[in-house]
Amino acid sequence: MKFFADTANIEEIKELAETGLLDGVTTNPSLIAKTGQDFIKTIENICSLVEGPVSAEVTALDHKMMIVEGEKLSKIAPNVCIKVPLTWDGLKACKALSSSGININVTLCFSATQALLAAKAGASFISPFVGRLDDISGNGMGLIEDIVNIFNNYPDTLSTEVLVASIRSPLHVLESAKLGADVVTVPPNVLKMLASHPLTDKGLSSFLADWEKTGQKII
């Protein structure tokens, strides 16, 4: 399973990229606004830090302008992936841009039928938002299960990767992996939580206390 960071913060991305565990980055207009930085320059910077796909979202609502914006954003770097919303216009733009070889991430997906349409429109990634569904008492992980099952029924014709978005906790990551989702995009704080366990901390401090008693050094 691939791990993307769900942030536009350069410092956070730098730190995560240094681990060698980062496969890509997703941004959206809200995450860009949070940085207070120039959109194009931010995407350019992120693309220089990460080899994998970096999602940059169009803001036009009609498909013709989405295509113009998508073409402009795709020229920033070879690893830019254009994000379009899951609307009729977004699907049309997805079809047109993906047909010209541009990678598309269709975002704001909340149903399996929406995901199916995005796959048919040639999306490289479909982004179902699990946290926002859970927030309104929906079943985020149930949606992932449906989409993974549906895509698995058509291995020869549907190659879209399921990118689990709007992740709120390590449990969302665990469930995504169990269901066979292709990618998770995770806020940096949640990504770090994946590595921590109280028994690891406890075990390490008792190992170090015992090591101290030996009076030895490795180097």
Indicate the residue among 139 and 200 with the shorter CB distance to ligand E4P.
139
Cα radius of gyration rounded to whole Å, the chain:
20
CA distances from 3 to 42, 91, 112, 181 (A): 20, 25, 22, 11
Query: Which stretch of DSSP H or E encloses residue 106?
Result: strand 104-109
Indicate the residue among 37 and 169 with the shorter CB distance to ligand E4P.
169
Residue 103 interacting with ligand E4P (CB under 6 A): no
Alpha-carbon distance of 58 to 124, in angstroms, equals 16
Among residues 83, 202, 213, 217, the one annotated as catalytic is: 83
From the CB of residue 50, how many other CB atoms can be counted at a distance below 10 Å? Answer: 21
CB 95 within 8 A of CB 121: yes
Residue 166 interacting with ligand E4P (CB under 6 A): yes
Active site (annotated) includes residue 83: yes
Indicate the residue among 154 and 166 with the shorter CB distance to ligand E4P.
166
Query: At its nearest, how many Å lie between ligand E4P and the CB of residue 51?
Result: 19
* Residue numbers 60-99 binding ligand E4P by CB under 6 A: none
Query: At its nearest, how many Å lie between ligand E4P and the CB of residue 57?
Result: 8
Residues that bind ligand E4P (CB under 6 A): 6, 26, 28, 107, 127, 129, 131-132, 165-166, 185
